[in-house]
Amino acid sequence: MKETFLGVDVCTDTYEQLAAKLIEDINHNRKSFIVAINPEKIMKAQEDERLRELLNKATYQIPDGIGVILASIIKGGKIRSRVTGIDMMLRLCKEAAIHGKKIFLYGAKPGVAEEAKKKLEERFPGIQIVGTMHGYEKDENVVKEAINKSDADILFVALGSPTQEYWIVKHMHSLVPKVYQGVGGSFDVVSGRLKRAPLFFQKLGLEWFYRLIKEPWRWKRQLVLPKFLIKAIRE
């Protein structure tokens, strides 16, 4: 099931439902692509038709961002909790460890993906992370060869948005992995280099507020939330 906000689709599935579908996709040799949706991306897509098409091309659009939840409530939809990119990634790691699926980490600064790999191995015993590659390799063929050689089932791409999404759509059909997720700065967080908001803020959906205090120069970017809500109500 999907709901549409200003022309952008968002899945109503929970972490559990998505994780089950993704493992099924791997087992049935189906390629799938997960993209995190937030008000910033929806607003960008209003002026950028190519981006809107790209977001709608994904198999699963997850409601990352409290703005999408509010819009769903206002419009009488069913989405009531966030599915964040990083938590979806961690959930998928957990399921992959249980089901013996192999993972490749592509992106972030040199060394970060290796650190993230170590942290994930400590956290999910039995996890198979079969390869890593930093996000500054210019030769696409070097990247693709490393991924295909690893024979991974799941590819996490951390190049920032929307670069990572364009990269996935361009290459997923000539790559071995089945499940693709663009994860932004998640390797920086998983490796421990970047701190996430405390659980208290996360639970209340106030991660944006925490970031506003820590990085006040972001306030302009955050104006997009009220603008998005007004537009969504008028839709």
**Residues near ligand UDP, by CB under 6 A:** 107-109, 135-136, 158-161, 184-185, 187-188
SS3 (DSSP) at 35: strand
Q: Shortest distance, CB of residue 85 to ligand UDP, whole angstroms? A: 8
The amino acid that residue 110 corresponds to is P
Q: Shortest distance, CB of residue 144 to ligand UDP, whole angstroms? A: 16
Contact indicator for 140, 164 with CB cutoff of 8 Å: no
φ, ψ at 3 (rounded to 5°)? -115, 155
- Nearer residue to ligand UDP within complex by CB, 8 or 108: 108
- Nearer residue to ligand UDP within complex by CB, 15 or 167: 167
- Nearer residue to ligand UDP within complex by CB, 84 or 150: 84
Which DSSP letter does residue 3 get? E
- Nearer residue to ligand UDP within complex by CB, 75 or 211: 211
Q: Which residue is nearest to ligand UDP (CB)?
A: 135
Q: Shortest distance, CB of residue 135 to ligand UDP, whole angstroms? A: 2
Q: Shortest distance, CB of residue 159 to ligand UDP, whole angstroms? A: 5
- Nearer residue to ligand UDP within complex by CB, 151 or 215: 215
Within 82-219, strands assigned E span: 102-107, 128-133, 154-158, 179-182
Contact indicator for 157, 132 with CB cutoff of 8 Å: no
User: Greatest CA separation found in the chain?
Assistant: 50
Determine the Cα–Cα distance for residues 56 and 58; give it in Å rounded to an integer: 5
Q: Shortest distance, CB of residue 89 to ligand UDP, whole angstroms? A: 12
